[in-house]
Amino acid sequence: MKTTPVLNRRQWIGTMGAALAGVALAPGSVLRGATAVAAPKGPERAGAAEPVQLLYNENTMGPSPRALEAMSREVARVHRYPFDKTPELIAQIARKEGVSPDHIVLGAGSGEVLEAFGVCLGRSGGEVIRAVPGYTQMTGAFDRVGGRTVEVPLNDRLEHDLDAMAAKIGPETKAIYVCNPNNPTGTIVAPARLRAFAVEAAKHATVFIDEAYLECSDDFSANTMVGLVREGHNVVVTRTFSKIYGLAGQRIGYGIMPPELAKSIRKFTTGSPNLLGVVAAQASLDDTGYVEPMRRRIKAERDALCALLKEHGRRYAEPQANFVFCHTGMPIEVFQERMLREGVAVARAFAPMLDWCRINVATPEEMAVTHAALRKVLG
């Protein structure tokens, strides 16, 4: 299959602006005659008046050109529901993951699947086990409807302490949540170790493995746990199109899980992702030449950021995502303020590590601004 090269951010904005303009002026288009809107001068652009935004682990290098083309073709149909396209995307995802479509739960980002899972299981109480610091969307939903989260600190390498998590499993445990790579630390669990843990833990409760960032890692195939779902274990794996595919604004993600569990979880989702997100996701999966070059670009910027931190004697967690979690040597609020003065907005605090910061990688232009800011702030 012929593939399309990855665009840089400037090309991405220009292409999308031209594509949308073409739709707006096309004969018979519902947008015909509308006032043309210039491509936005986003705060992400180096040298802009507003700061470089490194807050949410977005992939500012942009999505596949095929995704942009697919969205531009569908803009004039946004008055339609995506009911005809959604089953096609589910079938496409199922083929990619090697499961039948009834294993797939589609959501508005993988976050909707996390929320639905938390609400579904938490309504009857019980406990969910998670690492700290870690991602809280699923466990937060679980707590809100009557469940209780059991928190387990990361180990000295800022990785999941699987032995300590296993020791917390008891009769009230409904689920064990493992974000791999972990957010905010970016660390990954050795695959053989995680597999052994998940197989055993799944005998007692559902093991939920959040792989939102795994496609940014050095070896996705060796580390994904989707094979456990195929083998019939009580395991859930979630993925998103928000990270490596660069479609955060389109809100498309999914979970792979046993069919009976999927049937229960679907009751707590909207069941209707947005049309442009669906076609963008389809096109992204079709572009088989997109992911690997993007992974290399992310790794190059990640490695350069780690080298700068090492040069300044700063400790950082071993990263396998599109961000680096580093020790700043000062309260996070002070670091945020100093970085903002230099034109870079960085992420929030992650308790209890209140002098560490998560910095996501971005375009080379944005990272040049970020490196300059770090050199000044870190001294």
| The CATH fold of domain 77-286 | Aspartate Aminotransferase; domain 2 (3.40.640)
- The per-residue pLDDT for 17 is 43
Are the C-beta atoms of residues 81 and 275 closer than 8 Å to each other? yes
User: How far is Cα 324 from Cα 157, in angstroms, rounded to an integer?
Assistant: 14
Q: Do domains 41-63+290-378 and 77-286 have the same CATH topology?
A: no
CA 282 to chain centre: 17
What does pTM read for this prediction? 0.86
Instruction: Name the residue ranges covered by the structural domains of the chain.
Output: 41-63+290-378, 77-286
* pLDDT for the residue numbered 49: 66
pLDDT tens for each residue of the chain, 379 residues long: 444 444 444 444 444 444 433 333 333 322 223 323 233 333 344 444 689 999 999 999 999 999 999 999 999 999 999 999 999 999 999 999 999 999 999 999 999 999 999 999 999 999 999 999 999 999 999 999 999 999 999 999 999 999 999 999 999 999 999 999 999 999 999 999 999 999 999 999 999 999 999 999 999 999 999 999 999 999 999 999 999 999 999 999 999 999 999 999 999 998 889 999 999 999 999 999 999 999 999 999 999 999 999 999 999 999 999 999 999 999 999 999 999 999 999 999 999 999 999 999 999 999 999 999 999 999 8
Buried b (16+ CB within 10 A) or exposed e, 339-373: beebbbebbebbeebeebbbbbbbbebbbebbbeb
Residue-level pLDDT at 271: 82
At the topology level of CATH, where does 41-63+290-378 sit? Aspartate Aminotransferase, domain 1 (3.90.1150)
pLDDT in the model for residue 40: 32
pLDDT of 24 reads 34
- Cα 68 to Cα 131, 147, 283, distances in angstroms: 37, 41, 9
